[in-house]
Structures are given as C-alpha cells and as structure tokens.
Amino acid sequence: MFIDHEYIERLLDNARKSTAAEQEQAVVKAEQGELLTHEDIALLLQVRDTALLDRIFAVAGEIKRNIYGKRIVMFAPLYISNYCVNNCVYCGFQRCNELPRRKLNREEIQEEIRILEKMGHKRIALEAGEDPVNCPLDYVLEALDAIYETKLDNGSIRRVNVNIAATTVENYKKLKDKEIGTYILFQETYHKPTYEKMHPKCAKGNYDYHLTAFDRAMEAGIEDVGAGALFGLYDSDFEVLGLMLHNEHLEQEYGVGFHTISMPRLKKAEGMDLDKFTYLVDDETFKRLVAIIRIAVPYTGIIMSTRESAEMRKELLHYGVSQVSAGSCTGIGGYKEEEMGRTTEQFKVSDERRPLEVLKELMDDGYIPSYCTACYRQGRTGDRFMQLAKSGNIGYVCTPNALMTLYEYMLDYGDDELMKRGEKLILEETEKIEREDIKNLLTRNLALMKNGKRDLYL
C-alpha cells in the first residue's frame, strides 16, 4: 500500500532530531522554488523558530499570490441526508446518536437550492451520510438532477461537487455521467490503527477500501478529486505526509493528483467528548500546516470551511487557502429552517456570516470573490487543468472569469455598498490585464451583463 507507516514514522523521527541549520536548509529550498522531498516536508513540519516560521508563511503567501492571484472561490455545502450506518466517533451523524433522521425529498432539495441561489451561490458541495437503504446512490443521482434543474430568476447551480462514501467503479461512472464537479472524500486519518479505532464496527471501517476510493473514481473517468484529513484524530505531521504520499500515488498512476485539499479541524459534535481526543490542533500549529501544504503542493486548491472562525479564515487566506464556504448550514434542511432554529448539525459552525458580509470583507482585504465554474464546463479538468496552471496560462482566463462572476453577483444579489466597492475593484483589476484581447473581451462581457446577459465566461 502506498501509505507506508514505517516510512512516515522514520521521516518524522529523523526530522525531530534535526538541527536548526537543517531545518533552515529546507526553508531555503522552499524559498528558491525547488521541488521538496519528503524529508524536506518533514523538516518544515518541525520548524518552531519564529524567524523561520515567518519565512515559511512568507513563501506560502508568495506562492498563493503567484498562482491564484487575488481570487477566492466561493461555495456552500448542501446536506441532503443524515441517515448513516457508520459509527464514526467524531461525527454528529453517527448511528448511535438518537436524533431525528431524515432525508430531503425532491421538493425539499429544490427549496434548499432556491435559498442557496438567493444567496448568489453557483457552486455547492453535496453531502450525505452512508446508508445503502435510506440513502442509496440512486437517491444521490436523483438529487443531482433536482439541483441542476432548479432555477430561480437568474440563479442556477453550475457545479456540484459530491462528498459521499467510498463506492465502486460502476457507481463512480454513474456520478461521472451526472456531470459532477469534484469527487470529495476525506481519509479522516492516514494512520491505520487510529482509523480503525475511529470507525468501529461500521461500513466505513475498511481502511484500504476507503484509501483506494480515488483510484476507483479515476478509473471511472472522474478527473478531479478532493482529499482531506480531519486534523485532531492523530498526529498532524503524520497526516500531512500521508496526504503527500496519497497525492504522489495518484500523480504516478493517473497523471494528476488532488484537485483540492480540505483542511477541517476536529470540532465539537453531538454525542462526542472533545476532551477525549489527544491530538487536537491549536491555532498556531494549524496555520503552520496550511502554509506547509501550500508550499508542498502549490497548484492544489486549499479549502477552508466555516468550521473555522472568521478571524482564522481571514488569516489563513494569507498562507494558502484558495476556497471558502459562506453562509453554510450543516443540518438537513438547514437553510430553510435557519430562522426557526437549526436542525442537528454534523459539526459546529464557527463563521455564521452571510455571503454578502463575507464578500465585502474579502474585497476590503484586496481579494476577488469568484463564483466561476468555467474550467469544468470548458473541459479544463484533471491533467489539462494542471498543465495550464503550471504553465501560468490559466491566469489569463481565471481573473477575467472571477471578475465576471463577481459582477454577476453584484447585479443580482448585491446592495449599493457592494456595488460601489465592486465597480472600483473590477475597474482596477481590468486595467491590470496585460493582454489587450482579453481585456477587451472582458469589457465587452461586462457591458453585456449590465444589459441582462448572464453566465458569460472565457
């Protein structure tokens, strides 16, 4: 198996014995843009010296700016079912919890989507518990149809990323046929003994089957996959190296690694005692993890959910985060019931701001909020996306597309304050575009959008 526990532990043991000079040498390699080895990453994970940490944060920020510019991708989760046969000890939906179990019917799904569309969302992450009886794949496929078919005024969901349990090649082909975006699956922990401890006597308890899910997804033709570890279940340094080995395995076997890496931290959930977890990650460690992952996989998107506070998310944008959720609910039917009191949630949400508030702060901080889904619809996925990203050519379309989706949001969902800020930002960023043909096309499309056209992209 490509996750070699002894190898990871040996890397970490050696790195823990390293000198300050050896750690600095790894930082220098990162600063010079050299390809980092596993040993280098292990050394970076041991850095505690304040001056060296500042250099790590600086290079992570520089990589983020060079590759992603000022763009921050926006999305929201949609939970459609909390039926689950698993007993994951960290999850609010674990089967032993006595809570109202439900799944949304087609009409309820469409109602949730209309609410999300009123918020301006174009990209969602579909979430569901694992239950082959109450939440079979056919139900998920029908939900995808309902989502893509639902329109409200100018609103539409243009990309659905799917986070459901590991399954078969045949089932992944069915998801591919429904034109999903990224298939997302968190390994939770790459440490097999801990994985088995966290998933006792349940369908999810097969470590190897779960670990090889992306292999089956890619065999089925799904080109974009998104990984993640739940930091706090085991040693975070081990998890980072596990993510790196997993990513390299996919690159070697299929020509492309993770499209995204999510960075959830263990939070309080129904039916679990947070004090019983001994590997909880503090704020300073978490910042360091984000920065090191950004350095190690420069072209992979890093996702930060509303598990984290507004303050933490704001800071982490400087160190590598490129996608954030906004206005999130993690309960079943939660968007409709929000004003009435939320349903039981999978985990505690820390950033409860509405999307409009999040966008205003992002723009105040110099970012371009982006609802763009063009790459997926233009076939810029998998290794084709990575080739464009690594060549730098993706920037010619990403910034204009981000500006167009921001303008679309401003016209349909913004207030006077957002419009004033946004028009200034768009004018400034348009002037910075070096290619005249791209600048002219963007200017033309913005004028068309002002006159009622929508969903324009390069």
Mean pLDDT value of segment 394-399:
86
Q: pLDDT grade, residue 359 (50/70/90)?
A: very high
**Side chain identity at residue 286, one-letter code:** F
CA-to-CA dists, residue 289 to 294, 310, 387, 396, angstroms: 9, 18, 26, 30
Look at phi and psi of residue 129 and say left if phi exceeds 0, alpha if psi is from -120 to 50, else beta: beta
387: Cβ contacts below 8 Å, ≥ 6 apart: none
Buried/exposed 75-93: b ≥16 CB within 10 Å, e otherwise: bbbbbbbbbbbbbbbbbbb
| CA 241 – CA 236 distance, rounded (Å) | 9
Q: Domain 70-353 sits in which CATH superfamily?
A: Aldolase class I (3.20.20.70)
Question: Which stretch of DSSP H or E encloses residue 24?
Answer: helix 20-31
| Residues 164, 126 contacting (CB under 8 angstroms) | yes
| CA 98 – CA 305 distance, rounded (Å) | 26
User: Quick one: pLDDT at residue 357?
Assistant: 95
User: Quick one: pLDDT at residue 332?
Assistant: 92
CATH 3.20.20.70, the chain: domain bounds: 70-353
Mean pLDDT value of segment 383-408:
89
User: Quick one: pLDDT at residue 164?
Assistant: 97
Assigned token pair, 50: 């304040």
Q: What is the DSSP letter of 135?
A: B
| CA 154 – CA 117 distance, rounded (Å) | 8
Q: What is the DSSP letter of 229?
A: B
User: Quick one: pLDDT at residue 392?
Assistant: 78
| CA 70 – CA 88 distance, rounded (Å) | 37
- Predicted model pTM: 0.95
Assigned token pair, 122: 């174009």
CA-to-CA dists, residue 457 to 28, 285, 435, angstroms: 39, 39, 16
More confident residue, 283 or 328: 283
Query: pLDDT over 70 for what percent of the chain?
Result: 98
CA-to-CA dists, residue 281 to 236, 239, 386, angstroms: 7, 12, 31
Of 213, 239, 238, nearest in space to 226 by CA: 213
Q: What is the rounded average pLDDT for all residues in the chain?
A: 94
Q: What is the DSSP letter of 390?
A: H
Mean pLDDT value of segment 326-349:
72
Query: pLDDT over 90 for what percent of the chain?
Result: 85
Residue 345, pLDDT > 70, answer: no
| CA 269 – CA 92 distance, rounded (Å) | 5
Mean pLDDT value of segment 307-323:
95
Which of 50-64, 185-199, 278-292, 336-350 shows the lowest mean pLDDT across its residues? 336-350
Residue ranges in 97-157 assigned as alpha helix (H):
106-118, 137-149
> Tens of pLDDT along 187-200?
999 999 999 999 99
Q: pLDDT grade, residue 306 (50/70/90)?
A: confident
User: Quick one: pLDDT at residue 204?
Assistant: 97
Pairing of strands 368-370, 71-81: parallel
The C-alpha angle 318, 244, 127, rounded to 5 degrees, equals: 75
368: Cβ contacts below 8 Å, ≥ 6 apart: 69, 70, 71, 72, 362, 399, 402, 403, 406, 425, 429
Number of neighbours of residue 453 by Cβ within 10 angstroms:
12
> Tens of pLDDT along 98-125?
888 999 999 999 999 999 999 999 999 9
User: Quick one: pLDDT at residue 1?
Assistant: 85
Q: Is 136 helix (H, G, I), strand (E, B) or coil?
A: coil
Q: Write down the residue that tokens 């981000």 correspond to.
A: 402
Question: Which stretch of DSSP H or E encloses residue 151?
Answer: strand 151-152
Assigned token pair, 225: 């996959």
Q: pLDDT grade, residue 59 (50/70/90)?
A: very high
Q: pLDDT grade, residue 225 (50/70/90)?
A: very high
Write the DSSP string, 268-331.
--TT--GGG-TTPPPHHHHHHHHHHHHHHSTTSEEEE-TTS-HHHHHHHGGGT--EEE-S---B
Q: Is 225 helix (H, G, I), strand (E, B) or coil?
A: strand
Q: pLDDT grade, residue 331 (50/70/90)?
A: confident
